[in-house]
Amino acid sequence: MRRDQLLLATSAAAIAGFAALARSVARRNTREHDHRLRDAIVDNQGRVDRALAKAVGPLGKEWLHAPVALSIALVLWRRGAGRQATLPLIASVSAELVNRLCEGTLHIRKPPPGKRERHKPSFPSGHALETAAMALTSSYVLAREGVVPVGRSAAAAVALAAASGGGRVYLDRHWVSDA
């Protein structure tokens, strides 16, 4: 299987997984699990962990990931990556658009009590969605172009995505299944 086919297959699997999760959330199949995990997390919080969770909050914001994506694209372009250089920027913009589309259409449950904007849906977590899209795409392109070793690149991408989504759950802004 060629790389392009592998990427398309991975994208199709991610879309199918998202659709299955959205359906499960809409049917309230995740409710008991989400509430149990939320209670355990809220009951065991400390000041340092809350501070760390707040510190990673900007990871999922477009004002941070868009300039980072542009910087990565410029580095890749200067290294001769051609049109592949634009992929992190495309991922950043696409993730923001998908997040806005989801916010406008997927009102499938109430957010947890810690979310200040009660009118905004909690599923999916825009922070987790945008960070994962940007980090995983950038990781792939940086590794493919030989800028960063594959293992380090993948580990950094997974860590960033987990920190962003985990921080939102920890701060009681999202249910576990949102992130």
Over residues 46-103, the pLDDT tens digits come to 889 899 999 999 999 999 999 999 999 999 999 999 888 999 999 999 999 999 998 8
How far apart are the C-alpha atoms of 99 and 104, rounded to whole Å?
Answer: 9
Q: What percent of the chain is predicted at pLDDT more than 70?
A: 99
Q: Mean pLDDT, the chain, as a whole number?
A: 91
CA atoms within 13 A on the CB side of 130: 27
DSSP for residue 46: -
For the chain, the residue count is 179
Write down the pLDDT at residue 103: 86
Cα separations (Å) of 137 from 45, 99, 145, 157?
A: 32, 16, 12, 9
The pTM assigned to this predicted structure is 0.88
Q: What is the mean pLDDT of residues 21-43?
A: 93
